[in-house]
Amino acid sequence: MRYLCRSAISAAFSLNCALFCFASNKTDDTKLDSTPITVTMKSMSYEPKRLEIHVGDSVVWTNKAFTTHTATSDDDGKTFDTGEVERGKSSKPVTFATAGEFKYHCTIHGKAMHSTIIVKAVESK
């Protein structure tokens, strides 16, 4: 009887250790998905017009228009500037490291083609 009891306790202990190790190695799921968020460049607009993301997220701009576009922050490109994105191409990812509101436009077509990215701070758990 003692042997059976010790075996059951040993098995339960081993299972708890295995579950603890698995849980300790698991990371936050939101950080596992490092896929950039896509903004589509259309004829004279960006879609979505207003994008909300979190600090640490990345954005790429994909040009589905018939002409070249840029995505350039309204501070003369100091925050970000994709450079010219040709038709059918995508920009390099832009990672947003700080919270805030970032307005941007196409330098080729002026501020008539504009949009905003809202970057929110990551909530601590």
Confidence band (pLDDT; 50, 70, 90) for 19? very low
Share of the chain above pLDDT 90, in %: 69
The whole-model pTM stands at: 0.73
Confidence band (pLDDT; 50, 70, 90) for 85? very high
CB–CB of 44/108 below 8 Å? no
Question: Which pairing describes strands 72-73 and 46-47: parallel, antiparallel, or unpaired?
Answer: unpaired
Phi-psi domain of 88 (left: phi exceeds 0; alpha: psi -120 through 50; beta: other): left
